[in-house]
């Protein structure tokens, strides 16, 4: 059993019982230390919390502060880091890039004062209602592993990139400036059933894609730079376009000249460079790997405005099913079962839905017809039957992206759509119940992972029953 010992907390935050971010004021870091655990081997933190690490491979998760109402400020200050659960017996046959060729990219946007400190607007969008809250935080500076617009030297060979969007509210639509493809092998904590090659990746806040990039495909034989670019409007999907010189850039990769030792070339290669892109993934990535769902729920996302005038109305708060966190739990699944949730987004934003404990995946995205009429009725009655959901959920069917067809920690919920997700309240890799009492108090939560929305107050309790 491994153990984390706390020594020095984040230099700019009050004391916290969990996180270690440096030995001194000078060495405190953002992101914090990456925790690498072994699948099935528990990890104890100060003997107070024990994490069984039974997540399925690829084990790409992250840990962060979760102070109620202050999560946006805590993570902005840097209380976050990667957490990797390795499973050698499953992963070694994949022969993936490892060691220095396995890179973790923690991407986050920030605003800075002229002295280099982080800037956060402390005046509320509607101060009479909430003196400090803003609907979203967006920074024009893109940081990767704590550095603004950094560069990474790479050889002409395959690399594994584990890409986490740790932004408070910003979506990222990333691509390489020279069109180099991404081969997606996993998303969040689970491998795909089969790798998928794409030209761009859309990451919501808190979403992770695990990809293989082959830099030997770069055409220019000389040492050359290629950029990782971002084109996602903010708020997503219909907000302000990115600036090509600021938030439109993420980082650069300095590709070495042809050819050097350890490069991928059409001649015998050194043993430590004989990596591959696996042809298959894991069979449990598919929804059909688990028993049929036992219950269907309707989850409705609301944004409450100061007025009904779209030109003057300002956001007061955001609710799930018209309820606050303090209201009694209405989602009470039986531990060990699966459920079907129809998530209805009545706001103009895309929301990254995140469930604590459970993993889930989207199976259908159906567009609402006459969404304004349906929204008006729902704001009055908060009842999908009274408001005739079946007559509105008859629009275009948007396919779930192939690179997202696995068990995830975050699912993107587009506006004016009913997104149907299968939620697994059991282990997905072996179809077994949790090896601990998931019904114990105080329970769990589910929420939007736009941190500003979560803090006010798009978050609800989740209580499992025996």
CATH number of domain containing 383 = 2.60.40.420
Instruction: Give, in degrees to the nearest 5, the angle at Cα 169 between 359 and 248.
Output: 115
Global pTM value: 0.91
Of 243, 263, 281, which marks where a domain is finished?
281
In terms of domains, do 289 and 268 share one?
no
Q: Which residues of 173-192 are buried (b: 16+ CB within 10 A; e: fewer)?
A: bbbbeeebbbbbbbbbbbbb
In terms of domains, do 2 and 142 share one?
no
Q: How many CB atoms lie within 10 A of CB 332?
A: 15
- CB contact at 8 A, 389 and 172: no
Find how far residue 408's CA is from the centre of its chain: 9
Which DSSP letter does residue 288 get? Answer: G
Of 248, 106, 192, 207, residue with least CA distance to 413: 207
pLDDT of residue 14: 45
In terms of domains, do 57 and 34 share one?
yes
Q: Which residues of 79-108 are buried (b: 16+ CB within 10 A; e: fewer)?
A: bbbbbbbbbeebbeebebbeeebebbbbbb
- CB contact at 8 A, 86 and 59: yes
Of 254, 198, 252, residue with least CA distance to 227: 252
Of 281, 308, 340, which marks where a domain is finished?
281
In terms of domains, do 249 and 316 share one?
no
Give the CA distances from residue 423 to residues 8, 404, 442, 443, in Å, rounded to whole numbers and listed in that order: 38, 14, 20, 16
In terms of domains, do 257 and 314 share one?
no
- CB contact at 8 A, 356 and 409: no
Of 255, 281, 307, which marks where a domain is finished?
281
**Structure tokens that stand for 329 in this block:** 């739990």
Say how far apart CA 463 and CA 466 lie, in whole Å: 10
pLDDT of residue 50: 81
Q: What is the DSSP string of 246-305?
A: TTTEEEEEEEPPS--TT---SS---GGG-----S---GGGSGGGSPPP-EEEEEEEEEEE
pLDDT of residue 6: 38
CB-hemisphere CA count at 13 Å for 408?
Answer: 28
Say how far apart CA 144 and CA 159 lie, in whole Å: 17
In terms of domains, do 85 and 101 share one?
no
Of 146, 148, 123, residue with least CA distance to 134: 123
In terms of domains, do 312 and 266 share one?
no
SS in 3 state form for 301-360?
Answer: EEEEECCCCCCCCCEEEEEECCECCCCCCCECCECCCEEEEEEEECCCCCEEEEECCCEE
| Mean per-residue pLDDT pooled into runs of 10, the chain (466 residues) | 36 43 58 78 73 82 91 92 90 92 96 93 90 95 95 95 98 98 96 97 98 94 94 98 98 86 50 70 93 97 89 91 96 98 98 97 98 97 98 97 97 98 96 95 97 97 98
The H-or-E segment that residue 35 falls in is strand 35-38
Residue 244 burial (CB < 10 Å; 0-12/13-18/19+)?
exposed
pLDDT of residue 224: 92
Say how far apart CA 342 and CA 450 lie, in whole Å: 20
- Domain range spanning residue 317? 284-462
In terms of domains, do 136 and 51 share one?
no
In terms of domains, do 300 and 420 share one?
yes
Q: Could you tell me which residues come within 8 angstroms of residue 397 by beta carbon, excluding any fewer than 6 positions away?
A: 364, 365, 366, 367
In terms of domains, do 241 and 381 share one?
no
Total domains in the chain come to 3
In terms of domains, do 59 and 114 share one?
no
Say how far apart CA 429 and CA 466 lie, in whole Å: 21
In terms of domains, do 122 and 270 share one?
yes
């Amino acid at each position: 059993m491994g153990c984390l010992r706390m020594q020095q907390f984040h230099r700019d935050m009050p004391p916290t019982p969990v996180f270690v971010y440096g030995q001194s004021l000078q060495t405190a870091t953002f992101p914090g230390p990456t925790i690498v655990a072994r699948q099935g081997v528990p990890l104890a933190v100060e003997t107070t919390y024990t994490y069984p690490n039974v997540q399925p491979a690829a084990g790409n998760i992250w840990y962060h502060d979760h102070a109620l109402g202050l999560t946006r400020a805590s993570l902005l200050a840097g209380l976050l880091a990667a957490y990797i659960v390795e499973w050698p017996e499953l992963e070694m046959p994949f022969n993936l890039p490892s060691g220095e060729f396995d890179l973790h990219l923690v991407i986050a946007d920030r605003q800075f004062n002229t002295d280099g400190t982080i800037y956060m607007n402390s005046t509320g969008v509607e101060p009479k209602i909430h003196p400090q809250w803003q609907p979203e935080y967006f920074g024009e500076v893109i940081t990767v592993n704590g550095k603004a617009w950094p560069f990474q030297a790479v050889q002409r060979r395959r690399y594994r990139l584990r890409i986490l969007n740790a932004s408070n509210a910003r979506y990222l639509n990333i691509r390489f400036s020279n069109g180099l493809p991404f081969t997606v092998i996993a998303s969040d904590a689970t491998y795909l059933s089969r790798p998928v090659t794409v030209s761009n990746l859309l990451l919501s806040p808190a979403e992770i894609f695990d990809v293989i990039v082959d830099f030997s495909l770069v055409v220019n034989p000389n040492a050359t730079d290629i950029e990782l670019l971002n084109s996602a409007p903010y708020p997503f999907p219909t907000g302000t376009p990115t600036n090509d010189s600021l938030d439109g850039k993420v980082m650069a990769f300095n590709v070495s000249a042809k050819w050097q030792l350890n490069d991928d070339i059409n001649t015998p290669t050194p043993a430590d460079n004989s990596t591959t892109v696996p042809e298959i993934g894991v069979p449990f990535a598919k929804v059909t790997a688990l028993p049929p769902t036992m219950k269907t729920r309707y989850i409705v996302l609301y944004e409450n405005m100061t007025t009904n005038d779209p030109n003057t109305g300002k956001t007061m708060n955001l609710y799930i099913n018209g309820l606050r966190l303090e209201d009694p739990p209405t989602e009470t699944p039986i531990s060990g079962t699966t459920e079907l949730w129809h998530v209805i987004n009545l706001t103009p934003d895309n929301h990254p839905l995140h469930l604590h404990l459970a993993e889930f995946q989207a199976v259908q995205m159906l567009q609402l017809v006459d969404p304004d009429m349906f929204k008006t009725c729902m704001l009055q009655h908060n009842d999908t039957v009274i408001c005739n959901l079946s007559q509105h959920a008859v629009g275009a069917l948007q396919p779930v992206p192939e690179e997202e067809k696995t068990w995830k920690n975050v699912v993107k919920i587009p506006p004016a759509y009913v997104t149907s997700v299968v939620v697994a309240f059991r282990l997905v890799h072996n179809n077994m119940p949790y090896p601990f009492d998931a019904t114990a108090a105080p329970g769990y939560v589910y929420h939007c992972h736009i941190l500003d929305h979560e803090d006010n107050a798009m978050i609800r309790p989740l209580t499992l029953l025996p």
